[in-house]
């Protein structure tokens, strides 16, 4: 891995997950800096990873090559404006994992002409199984793209987007997606108990089935439609169950759900990016 320094503004769960992934990949702990207001969080990060921690955001921004913004979207404007002078002086690559903040708004808050990669990770990054969409603005160099990708790839897969508007679709599909899967697991578990299984057995079977199906879909050369057909014997139990789901227009329901999530993501970006 190429040598460069990384700073994190915010030391919460997602930042800790990325740091853990980086160190597991061989990134040197002494090249990672975190600014975090909570003394308890700083102590835990330092003890767990052996990284540099402090309270001052600008001190971190002034000495790193890549700055990852891992604060809540609602406070990012204030934080960015505080960092603007340091960013303009140092000109690091800025990677944002804040949901709903467009790169143009972030660049404006940081003083303009900043290399920014906007990312949309999801919560399975907490167990190094995330999926992250990435968008680079026009100031990001090819080497900086590689840096951003290597950082987020430490906690899962990454995909580059050619149009920032696609971030809303990524938010709807994979950003919010874990909640849909959890909901499906929950529904299957409840159905299993109603069919006579005890709660623990139903949960174990539902969770492992979701995990196994996902793993098979990831590792198989077949697409999900082909895998579905292979497990659906004519006249069998699976065909009967899928028929009920089709009658309930499951596909239409999911399309409506993802469209609603995408629309809401765009609305939030408009609200959070308001510079009034």
Check whether residue 71 and residue 155 sit in a common domain: yes
Confidence band for 203, pLDDT divided at 50, 70 and 90 = very high
Check whether residue 139 and residue 60 sit in a common domain: yes
- Please report, for the domain that includes residue 19, its CATH number: 3.40.50.720
* Single residue among 167, 197, 225 that ends a domain in this structure: 167
> For 224-241, what is the mean pLDDT?
97
Q: Which stretches within the chain are classed as H helix? A: 13-24, 39-49, 57-61, 73-90, 103-109, 142-153, 166-170, 177-194, 199-219, 224-230, 237-247, 250-272
> For 191-217, what is the mean pLDDT?
98
Q: DSSP letter at 29?
A: G
108-133 confidence digits (pLDDT tens): 999 999 999 999 999 999 999 999 99
Residue 275 lies in a domain: no
Looking at the DSSP assignment, which residues form a beta bridge with residue 209? none
79-104 confidence digits (pLDDT tens): 999 999 999 999 999 999 998 999 99
209: alpha, beta or left, given left = phi > 0 and alpha = psi -120 to 50?
alpha
Check whether residue 118 and residue 21 sit in a common domain: yes
Residue 262 lies in a domain: yes
Check whether residue 187 and residue 148 sit in a common domain: no
Residue 274 lies in a domain: no
Confidence band for 2, pLDDT divided at 50, 70 and 90 = low
Check whether residue 82 and residue 149 sit in a common domain: yes
| CA dist., res. 238 & res. 235, Å (int) | 8
Would you call 192 helix, strand, or coil by DSSP?
Answer: helix
Which two structure tokens, joined as six digits, stand for 85? 């002078």
* Single residue among 167, 190, 213 that ends a domain in this structure: 167
Check whether residue 194 and residue 158 sit in a common domain: no
Check whether residue 182 and residue 148 sit in a common domain: no
Global model pTM greater than 0.85 = yes
Long-range contacts of 39-43 (CB under 8 A, 24+ apart): 41/11, 41/12, 42/11
Residue 172 lies in a domain: no
Check: CB of residue 110 under 8 Å from CB of residue 80: yes
Residues of the chain above pLDDT 90, percent: 96
* Single residue among 106, 141, 167 that ends a domain in this structure: 167
Residue 1 lies in a domain: no
Residue 276 lies in a domain: no
134-193 confidence digits (pLDDT tens): 999 999 999 999 999 999 999 999 999 999 999 999 999 999 999 999 999 999 999 999
Confidence band for 276, pLDDT divided at 50, 70 and 90 = very low
Domain count, the chain: 2
Check whether residue 35 and residue 77 sit in a common domain: yes
Check whether residue 50 and residue 161 sit in a common domain: yes
Domain containing 189 equals: 177-268
- Please report, for the domain that includes residue 249, its CATH number: 1.10.3730.10
- In whole numbers, what is the pLDDT of the chain averaged over residues? 95
Check whether residue 206 and residue 157 sit in a common domain: no
Check whether residue 121 and residue 240 sit in a common domain: no
Check whether residue 49 and residue 100 sit in a common domain: yes
Residue 224 lies in a domain: yes
């Amino acid at each position: 891995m190429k040598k460069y320094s990384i700073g994190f503004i915010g030391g919460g769960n997602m930042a800790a997950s990325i740091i853990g992934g980086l160190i597991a990949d061989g990134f040197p702990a002494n090249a990672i800096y975190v600014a975090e207001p909570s003394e308890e969080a700083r102590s835990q990060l330092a003890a767990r990873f052996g990284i540099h921690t402090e309270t001052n955001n600008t001190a971190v921004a002034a000495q790193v090559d890549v700055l990852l913004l891992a604060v809540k979207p609602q406070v990012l404007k204030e934080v960015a404006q505080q960092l603007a002078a340091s960013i303009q002086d140092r000109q690091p690559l800025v990677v944002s994992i804040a949901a709903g903040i467009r790169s143009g708004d972030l660049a404006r808050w940081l003083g303009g002409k900043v290399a920014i990669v906007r990312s949309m990770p999801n919560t399975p990054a907490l167990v190094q199984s995330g999926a992250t969409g990435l968008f680079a603005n026009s100031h990001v160099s090819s080497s900086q793209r590689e840096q951003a990708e290597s950082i987020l790839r430490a906690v899962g897969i990454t995909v580059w987007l050619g149009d920032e508007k696609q971030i809303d679709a990524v938010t709807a599909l994979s950003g919010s997606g874990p909640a849909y899967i959890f909901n499906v697991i929950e529904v299957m578990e409840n159905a299993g108990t109603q069919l006579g299984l005890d709660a623990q057995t139903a949960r174990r079977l539902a969770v492992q089935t979701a995990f196994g199906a996902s793993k098979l879909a990831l590792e198989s050369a077949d697409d999900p439609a082909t895998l579905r057909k292979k497990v659906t014997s004519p006249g069998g139990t699976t065909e009967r169950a899928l028929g009920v789901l089709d009658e309930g227009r499951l596909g239409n329901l999911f399309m409506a759900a993802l469209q609603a999530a995408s629309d809401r993501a765009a609305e939030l970006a408009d609200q959070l990016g308001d510079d009034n």
